[in-house]
Amino acid sequence: MDIEELAREADETPRQIRYLISLGVVPPPEGGRRFASYGPTHLAAVRRYQALRAQGYAPAQITAILDVARAAAERVTVAFPLAPGVMLLVNPTALGPVPPNPDDVGRLATSDLTQFLAERASRETDDVP
């Protein structure tokens, strides 16, 4: 399909599709500029972007999430978006024969995230005159 068909199918404008390609959220078309062709992979990428936007993620956050997901996929890691800006990465091959208790992992993550946010808030209030 061409960009017009993709835009209609995804309920987007061609300009928005080009923007998503420039962000790296949607892969470039097959066949180059002159014979650009889009398929199910492109439509899925646009819909993934739309779903993340509907959850309240900003374009920069979506780009970061997808970058992490791509990197995670290369390392056989599973990514779980927990909240805007918070991603849990799990490497199933490193879990070993007896996986950790999810409650223990949750407590550890809560502790680390609480400490990180407190330190960040402290740095931001230090800057205020």
Tens digit of pLDDT for each residue in 82-96?
888 888 878 777 777
For residue 12, what pLDDT is reported?
Answer: 94
Are 80 and 90 within 8 A, CB to CB?
A: yes
In a domain, 12, yes or no: yes
Query: What domain range is 1 assigned to?
Result: 1-54
Q: Does 75 fall in a domain? A: no
Total domains, the chain: 1
In a domain, 68, yes or no: no
CA distances 35 to 44, 93, 120, Å, are 21, 42, 49
In a domain, 63, yes or no: no
Q: pTM for this one? A: 0.56
Q: Which of 1-5, 41-45, 59-63, 92-96 has the lowest mean pLDDT?
A: 92-96
In a domain, 103, yes or no: no
Give 92's DSSP letter. G
**Spatial distance between the Cα atoms of 82 and 39, rounded to a whole number of angstroms:** 30
| Residue 25 covered by a domain | yes
pLDDT of residue 103: 85
Write down the mean pLDDT value for the chain: 84
85: DSSP letter: T
Is position 19 within any domain? yes
Cβ atoms within 10 Å of 29's Cβ, excluding its own: 20
pLDDT band at 40 (very low <50, low <70, confident <90, very high): very high
Q: Residue type at 26? A: V
Residue 43: pLDDT over 90: yes
Residue of 98 and 75 predicted with greater confidence: 98
CA distance 96 to 127: 44
* Residue 21: partners with Cβ closer than 8 Å, 6 or more residues away: 27, 28, 29
Q: How far is CA 103 from CA 52, 82, 106, 108, in A?
A: 27, 15, 5, 9
Rounded distance between C-alpha atoms, residue 42 and residue 55, angstroms: 20
Structural element, H or E, at residue 81: strand 78-83
Structural domain includes residue 108: no
